[in-house]
């Protein structure tokens, strides 16, 4: 999982393969477009603006932005930032949310292609379920940026995300440091895991990053997973659902902790699952100790829980920066510029160009721009305010701006 940055050597090959995608096999079949339009366009295509056909839009082109769902907080932000930033840069945009329904996302993307988009930005609901739409994009010669979540199809040109494995290692290391596990002596701490959606390619990276840091302490007996539920499939949470995470946490608490066994840590891969676990601990845990709960994203409800001492940390990913990198990359693609690490200074955002870690199919690495995640606790909430993306109320709670 170690990242290696090899940009310059591959750049020429990558630009020529830009439209063909990440893989060496660029052949694809075009499936018939679905006729029924179920797209939930949060913001309808700017038809009026298109008809007025401003020079800027004509020069910039049309961008299709396909987000997974509005029911998980972050994607509302991603969609809004991408939409705003592309419009401000002179592009016409189509923004859709697909209600966590893969068939609908395929349909939404097909509609964008039919609408003549010049480039697609897609955060997949299920990285394995978009082949029909991706193959059509390849046939139409439309480049695809996999946004945040990788899509398992070689039509994907580039990937923009955070370093997903590092998100997990930050969660694991937080537990090690907070409990000072290296000096724990004979003390045994009890813990549980909740991971993300198996359909989301990121979920395995988050989980593995955390496990890789914590496994030596589990092996040494310093950490004890009381339920024994540790493998990814057992601890995974379909669609990252808060309710599903809550239900499983309640079951684990009633089965393994109702006898007064102390729970010390619950590693949750993200904030939506942490919300469910925190709720279960608040209502169903018999102990009175503070339980360390990890998360990821910086959702408003979770930041409130951090202020209230109910959640301990979150791994913050600045999605405004993620959309700025995506815009810079899209501009380079559409202008025919070389895409490699030499673009990074123009983004003005810390990230790595990685041509090894992510594959859209076996042996087909997808060139990726990976941003840097940060740990947020009650002690450094001001860092979020300093981004300009949150304000802090008099009660100390944070609200996202917009």
Residues at the contact surface with ligand BGC, assessed by CB under 6 A = 72, 74, 148-149, 196, 200, 202, 240, 270, 272, 296-297, 317
Q: Please name every residue paired with 158 in a beta bridge, in sequence order, or none if there are none.
A: 145
Inter-CA distances, 302 with 243, 269, 296, 311, 332, Å: 15, 13, 9, 7, 36
- In degrees, rounded to 5, the angle at the alpha carbon of residue 156 between the alpha carbons of residues 155 and 158 is 145
Any alpha helices (H) in 220-318, and if so which ranges?
232-235, 242-252, 271-284, 300-307
Q: How far is the CB of 321 from ligand BGC (least distance, A)?
A: 13
- The whole-angstrom separation of Cα 167 and Cα 170 is 5
Q: For residue 240, give the DSSP letter.
A: G
305: Cβ contacts below 8 Å, ≥ 6 apart: 274, 275, 278, 293, 311
201: Cβ contacts below 8 Å, ≥ 6 apart: 124, 127, 149, 150, 151, 152
- The whole-angstrom separation of Cα 174 and Cα 180 is 9
Phi, psi of 67 (to 5 degrees): -105, 155
Q: How far is the CB of 151 from ligand BGC (least distance, A)?
A: 12
Using the minimum distance from each CB to ligand BGC, give the nearer residue, 71 or 178: 71
- In degrees, rounded to 5, the angle at the alpha carbon of residue 124 between the alpha carbons of residues 340 and 28 is 75
- The whole-angstrom separation of Cα 196 and Cα 37 is 30
Using the minimum distance from each CB to ligand BGC, give the nearer residue, 62 or 317: 317
Q: How far is the CB of 336 from ligand BGC (least distance, A)?
A: 30
Q: 94 with 104: CB under 8 angstroms?
A: no
Q: How far is the CB of 115 from ligand BGC (least distance, A)?
A: 26
Q: How far is the CB of 288 from ligand BGC (least distance, A)?
A: 30
Chain residue whose CB lies nearest ligand BGC: 270
Q: Please name every residue paired with 145 in a beta bridge, in sequence order, or none if there are none.
A: 121, 158
Q: How far is the CB of 116 from ligand BGC (least distance, A)?
A: 29
Using the minimum distance from each CB to ligand BGC, give the nearer residue, 19 or 80: 80
Q: How far is the CB of 317 from ligand BGC (least distance, A)?
A: 6
223: Cβ contacts below 8 Å, ≥ 6 apart: 175, 181, 188, 189, 190, 191, 214, 217, 265
Using the minimum distance from each CB to ligand BGC, give the nearer residue, 272 or 318: 272
Any alpha helices (H) in 18-120, and if so which ranges?
47-52, 55-60, 73-88, 102-114
Q: How far is the CB of 236 from ligand BGC (least distance, A)?
A: 12
Using the minimum distance from each CB to ligand BGC, give the nearer residue, 62 or 74: 74
Using the minimum distance from each CB to ligand BGC, give the nearer residue, 91 or 158: 158
Using the minimum distance from each CB to ligand BGC, give the nearer residue, 274 or 291: 274
Using the minimum distance from each CB to ligand BGC, give the nearer residue, 153 or 227: 153
Q: How far is the CB of 166 from ligand BGC (least distance, A)?
A: 12
Residue 9 CB burial class (10 angstroms; 0-12, 13-18, ≥19): exposed
Q: How far is the CB of 8 from ligand BGC (least distance, A)?
A: 29
Using the minimum distance from each CB to ligand BGC, give the nearer residue, 110 or 318: 318
Using the minimum distance from each CB to ligand BGC, give the nearer residue, 332 or 371: 371
Q: How many CB atoms lie within 10 A of CB 304?
A: 16
């Amino acid at each position: 999982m170690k990242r290696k940055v090899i940009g310059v050597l591959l750049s020429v090959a990558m630009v020529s393969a830009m439209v063909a995608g990440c893989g060496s096999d660029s052949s694809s079949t075009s499936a018939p477009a679905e006729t029924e339009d179920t797209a939930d366009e949060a913001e309808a295509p700017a038809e009026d603006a298109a008809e007025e056909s401003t020079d800027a839009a004509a020069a910039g082109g049309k961008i299709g932005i396909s987000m997974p769902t509005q029911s998980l907080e972050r994607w509302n932000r991603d969609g809004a930032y991408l939409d705003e930033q592309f419009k401000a840069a002179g592009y016409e945009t189509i923004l859709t949310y697909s209600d966590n329904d893969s068939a609908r996302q395929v349909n939404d993307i097909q509609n964008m292609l039919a609408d003549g988009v010049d480039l697609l930005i897609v955060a997949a609901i299920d990285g394995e379920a978009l082949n029909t739409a991706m193959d059509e994009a390849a046939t139409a010669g439309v480049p695809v940026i996999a946004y945040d979540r990788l899509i398992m199809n070689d039509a994907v040109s580039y990937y923009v995300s955070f370093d997903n494995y590092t998100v997990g290692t930050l969660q694991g290391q937080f537990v090690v440091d907070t409990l000072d596990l290296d000096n724990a002596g004979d003390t045994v701490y009890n813990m549980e895991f909740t991971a993300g959606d198996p359909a989301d390619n990121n979920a395995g990276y988050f989980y593995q990053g955390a496990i890789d840091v914590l496994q030596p302490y589990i092996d040494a007996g310093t950490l004890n997973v009381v339920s024994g539920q540790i493998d990814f499939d057992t601890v995974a949470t379909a669609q990252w659902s808060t309710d599903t995470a809550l239900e499983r946490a309640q079951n684990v608490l009633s089965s393994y902790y109702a006898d007064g066994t102390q729970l010390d840590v619950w590693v949750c891969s993200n904030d939506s699952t942490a919300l469910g676990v925190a709720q279960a601990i608040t209502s169903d845990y018999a102990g009175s100790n503070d339980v360390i709960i990890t998360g990821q994203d910086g959702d408003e409800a979770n930041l409130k829980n951090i202020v209230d001492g109910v959640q301990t940390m979150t791994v913050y990913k600045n999605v405004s920066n993620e959309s700025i990198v995506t815009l810079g990359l899209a501009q380079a693609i559409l202008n025919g510029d070389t895409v490699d690490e030499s673009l990074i200074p123009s983004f003005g955002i810390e990230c790595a160009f990685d041509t090894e870690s992510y594959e859209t199919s076996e042996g087909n690495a997808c060139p990726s721009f990976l941003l840097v995640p940060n740990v947020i606790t009650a002690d450094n909430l001001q860092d979020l305010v300093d981004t300009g993306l949150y304000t802090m109320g008099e009660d100390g709670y944070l609200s996202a701006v917009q």
